[in-house]
Amino acid sequence: MRLSIDAMGGDRGPAAVVAGMARSARKNPDIDFILHGPAEELGRLVARRKQLADRVEIRDASDVVTMEDKPSQVVRHGKETSMWSALDAVRAGDAEVCVSCGNTGALMALSMMRLRKLPGVNRPAIAVLWPSRNPQGFNVMLDVGADIRADEKDLLQYALMGASYARNGMGLERPRIGLLNVGTEEHKGRSELKAAHELISEAAQNANFDFVGFVEGGDIPGERCDVIVTDGFTGNVALKTGEGTASLIGDFLREAFKFSPLSRFAAVLALTSLRRLQKRIDPRRVNGGVFLGLNGPVVKSHGSADAMGVSAAIKLAYQLAASGFQGKIAARVASAVSLAQDAAERGTGNV
């Protein structure tokens, strides 16, 4: 199994990426890497890690996509970047999945250009895993920011792609899908959500998932469903609000335990418990947004990911490749396209 890794563009530079690869290589003997970036620098970094010996092919790329670069510029002038090279390895079939810590907007724009959208997909989506009360420990939410708009057909495709992801990434045979909305009856008024509710209901039988209907923000970490479907604007706000809240509580917790000598003593005794908690909510453990709806999966790691975060993104990429996810999602979307078109046409006829 070969993964294509963009070494550049993350906040911690290529050293953190190579450290993450070494961590993954130690745990999993089945992974090989194609690594993209300035060959000389990468060669030195890789040579220092004996776990990586004979498992890394380096492809030289002199240019780097920065966090400030505009996606449109990268698409036009980014041919020499490590990000472009990393995507092209998947395009050429040399690697199964691409992993990058770089600029999200640029990565999405380049992915759409180099890998192309799956037939029948209008808008690709970014899916993330979210700690939850469900037995699998995580829920899937999409879209979290590939596109700020989504009409009812896009939302249906998100449901289909999210169900496929939950089935292959989390082993849920019949995932439960929820459509994000606000609470009161009176507010269930956005027309595209009503239309999407109908389309997803109709698709549920054939597509082998359960549709639980509208869900609320509180259900994102909840147990009512496994997959939360929403537009990229709302999903992005929800993701960052959740991360911000978790980080705030973490800081408050630390402050609470630093308050007095006694509480500092209690903290020492409570250390194992606190570590157990941290492990469950540590965002590095579930690092990686997956771009769905393209010819080839792309895993976007957090820009600030350290070795542990990069390794988690690599693990996710490996799992997706090992499950044969790409072929399954393509088949699922293709078979659903005609279904969706039928439904949409019928829907229009009814109104």
* All residues at 6 or more sequence positions from 33 whose CB lies less than 8 Å from its CB, including other chains: 2, 3, 4, 5, 21, 25, 52, 55, 56, 57
Cis bond before residue 143 (omega within 30° of 0): yes
Contact 198, 204 (CB under 8 A): no
Closest to 160 (Cα-Cα) out of 330, 40, 290, 29: 330
- Closest contact distance (angstroms) between CB of 76 and a copy of itself is 14
Tell whether residue 54 is a contact of a copy of itself (CB under 8 A).
Answer: no
Site map (CB under 8 A) of a copy of itself, residues 209-228, x = contact: -------xxxxxxx------
Q: Quick one: three-class SS letters along 52-74?
A: HCCCEEEEECCECCCCCCCHHHH
Of 127 and 320, nearer to a copy of itself (C-beta) is 127
Residue from 51, 62, 72, 206 binding a copy of itself (CB under 8 A) = 72
Burial 144-166 (b: 16+ CB within 10 A, else e): bbbbeebebbbbbbbbbbbbbbb
First-to-final CA distance of the chain: 50
Tell whether residue 77 is a contact of a copy of itself (CB under 8 A).
Answer: no
Residue from 31, 155, 238, 292 binding a copy of itself (CB under 8 A) = 238
Residue 113 burial by Cβ neighbours in a 10 Å radius (0-12, 13-18, 19+): middle
Of 53 and 248, nearer to a copy of itself (C-beta) is 248
Tell whether residue 75 is a contact of a copy of itself (CB under 8 A).
Answer: no
Of 130 and 325, nearer to a copy of itself (C-beta) is 130
Tell whether residue 182 is a contact of a copy of itself (CB under 8 A).
Answer: yes
Contact 52, 27 (CB under 8 A): no
Tell whether residue 289 is a contact of a copy of itself (CB under 8 A).
Answer: no
Distance of CA 98 to the CA centre of its chain: 12
- Closest contact distance (angstroms) between CB of 145 and a copy of itself is 6
Site map (CB under 8 A) of a copy of itself, residues 12-51, x = contact: ----------------------------------------
Closest to 122 (Cα-Cα) out of 112, 130, 132, 131: 112
Tell whether residue 11 is a contact of a copy of itself (CB under 8 A).
Answer: no
Tell whether residue 272 is a contact of a copy of itself (CB under 8 A).
Answer: yes
- Closest contact distance (angstroms) between CB of 220 and a copy of itself is 5
Site map (CB under 8 A) of a copy of itself, residues 145-164, x = contact: x--x----------------
Contact 329, 295 (CB under 8 A): no
Of 220 and 292, nearer to a copy of itself (C-beta) is 220
Residue 198 burial by Cβ neighbours in a 10 Å radius (0-12, 13-18, 19+): middle
Tell whether residue 246 is a contact of a copy of itself (CB under 8 A).
Answer: yes
Q: How many CB atoms lie within 10 A of CB 8?
A: 25
Tell whether residue 234 is a contact of a copy of itself (CB under 8 A).
Answer: yes
Of 27 and 77, nearer to a copy of itself (C-beta) is 77
Residue from 113, 281, 308, 339 binding a copy of itself (CB under 8 A) = 281
**Helix/strand/coil for 97:** strand
State the Rg of the chain over Cα: 21
Q: What are the residues binding a copy of itself (CB under 8 A)?
A: 70-72, 103-105, 109, 131-133, 145, 148, 180, 182-187, 189-190, 216-222, 230, 232-234, 236-249, 251-253, 256-257, 259-260, 262-263, 265-267, 269-270, 272-274, 276-277, 280-281
